[in-house]
Amino acid sequence: MINEELPSLGANATDGYHMRSAELNELAFSTLRAFGDPWTDFGQFPLFDAWRQLNNDDNLFAEIRDEIHLQVHLDDANRDHGNHNYDAVDCRSLRNGRAYAGHDLFVHYADLNKISRSSLEVRLRAKFGDRGVAGCRLLLSAMEAQQRLDFWGRVTRPQATELLELSNLFNGGRWSNLTADGMLDQRLINYLAANLDDVARIHWRQFEKLTATYFLRRGMHVQLGPGSNDDGVDIRIWPIAGNCEGPPLMIVQCKRQRQKVSKVVVKALWADVCAENAQVGLLVTSSSASPGAEHTIAARGYGIEIADGAAVYRWIRELRAPGSGVTAL
């Protein structure tokens, strides 16, 4: 933490705080985690977490680490020598550096996206079976997370082309936070994944866009209503992206509110489903349906499904940085 008990810097010195490098790393990590950065899933010390998981399996961590160390140097040697395949003698010479493998800065800062993972996994599968391959993927993800979280490291992150005001999530931001493909900005989704209690506070329009984004990511064609004067239809959904011919598959009504949704809402939703000849209605809410609403759906046989607050939380976790990070581990 910030150290405020420091000797005076002198009358001419600029006032400020002294902070050790480890403290700055901790501050950076806490900030990233608060905003839902996917690389914080391993914790502040990803390699330690991987070691803890793998060391329960016959010291598998050291074995896999040594093989990664070997592969990084083999790949580098092959690039420098015209893709010449090193023979067993070359491999043995690199294996002699086992004690060095845990402190090799060349490997520590290597571009892990360029590593020959197939060759690495073949060797580990031959030695340890499927658990060796699974452990390798775990450790490589931990190493990549370590690189991204190291405030003093050489690995850089891609930078957004423009800043995004977090307040837009709560005041609507003039409804401008849809990306070019119609999705809610991923940074806002990541923030919500780390701060689920804030879902009930976001602007109602952002809640609609969050719902639309979920179905867009599932490969459906989504038509988001204008937000006002929409006759109660927030979202129309067709099953195939790019195809909105015929009646919609689903009519969606979004209710971002703390109180339970009343039966009046489900009656209105069913009227819209029938009017547009849709197959089903979906009520998406940050709370839940009232007992009266649930009874009305069951008693009258309405084709209405309910996605309550717990379901929305699951959606957000699924939407969080898909295809990147270590969220699957």
Of 30, 54, 125, the C-alpha closest to 329 is 54
Indicate whether 193 and 113 sit together in one domain.
Answer: no
Tens of pLDDT along 161-204?
777 788 888 887 555 555 555 578 888 899 999 999 999 999 99
Number of other CB atoms surrounding residue 81 within 10 Å: 10
21 or 271, which is more confident: 271
328 within domain boundaries: no
Domain that holds residue 310: 168-319
User: Helix-strand-coil percent breakdown of the chain, rounded to 5?
Assistant: 50, 10, 40
Task: Quote the percentage of the chain above a pLDDT of 70.
Answer: 76
Band the pLDDT of 102: cuts 50, 70, 90.
low
Indicate whether 312 and 184 sit together in one domain.
Answer: yes
Indicate whether 213 and 272 sit together in one domain.
Answer: yes
Task: Quote the percentage of the chain above a pLDDT of 90.
Answer: 40
How many domains does the chain fold into?
A: 2
14 within domain boundaries: no
DSSP string, 159-223: PPSS---TTHHHH-GGG--B-TTSPBPHHHHHHHHH-GGGGGGS-HHHHHHHHHHHHHHTT-EEE
3 within domain boundaries: no
Only one residue has tokens 């976001």, namely 202
Band the pLDDT of 313: cuts 50, 70, 90.
very high
Only one residue has tokens 């074995």, namely 63
Indicate whether 97 and 140 sit together in one domain.
Answer: yes
Largest separation between any pair of C-alpha atoms in the chain: 80
C-alpha to C-alpha distance for 140 and 115, rounded to whole angstroms: 10
Looking at the predicted structure, is the pLDDT value of residue 325 above 50?
no
Q: Is 239 exposed, middle or buried (0-12, 13-18, 19+ CB in 10 A)?
A: middle
- Residue 232 CA to its chain's centroid (Å): 32
- The whole-number pLDDT of residue 310 equals 95
The amino acid at residue 183 is M
Tens of pLDDT along 234-266?
999 999 988 899 999 999 999 999 999 999 999
Indicate whether 133 and 196 sit together in one domain.
Answer: no
Looking at the predicted structure, is the pLDDT value of residue 69 above 60?
yes
- The whole-number pLDDT of residue 151 equals 76
- The whole-number pLDDT of residue 326 equals 34
Tens of pLDDT along 262-308?
999 999 999 999 999 999 999 999 999 999 999 999 999 999 999 99
Band the pLDDT of 323: cuts 50, 70, 90.
very low
Indicate whether 139 and 181 sit together in one domain.
Answer: no
Indicate whether 137 and 192 sit together in one domain.
Answer: no
Indicate whether 128 and 31 sit together in one domain.
Answer: yes
3-state secondary structure of 55: coil
C-alpha to C-alpha distance for 64 and 71, rounded to whole angstroms: 10
Domain boundary among 122, 149, 176: 149
Decide: 42 and 49 in contact? Cβ < 8 Å.
yes
Of 229, 276, 285, 216, the C-alpha closest to 251 is 276
Of 60, 36, 38, 39, the C-alpha closest to 50 is 60
Of 262, 261, 207, the C-alpha closest to 235 is 207
Looking at the predicted structure, is the pLDDT value of residue 88 above 50?
no
Decide: 193 and 223 in contact? Cβ < 8 Å.
no
Summary mean pLDDT of the chain: 81
Of 118, 119, 101, the C-alpha closest to 110 is 101
Which CATH number goes with the domain that contains 292? 3.40.1350.10
Tens of pLDDT along 111-149?
888 888 999 999 999 999 999 999 999 999 899 888 888
59 within domain boundaries: yes
